Amino acid sequence: MDKYLLVILVFCLVGIPISFVSPTTGELREPPFLLLFYASIGGICIIIVYNSFKERQQHKTNLERRRKSKK
């Protein structure tokens, strides 16, 4: 996984508890901030899908290079 994707993934993971706990008081929020929660979950899913797509494309190009070098 790229450095940049890993940093964004960490920010998404940190955003999940922040949506339920107030950072200033440390107590649970009465109405949790669900928009931040679902945005973090969606961001994590997008990062995982994008990273797997990118690795699959890289694997295809590596296979094509190997096939060309054998000929």
pLDDT tens for residues 7-61?
999 999 999 999 999 878 889 988 889 999 999 999 999 999 999 999 999 999 9
pLDDT for residue 70 is more than 80: no
Amino acid at position 49, single letter: V
DSSP assignments along 6-70, one per residue: HHHHHHHHHHHHHHHB-TTT-SBPSS--HHHHHHHHHHHHHHHHHHHHHHHHHHHHHHHHHHHHH
pLDDT at position 23 = 78
pLDDT for residue 71 is more than 80: no
Does this model's pTM top 0.85? My answer is no
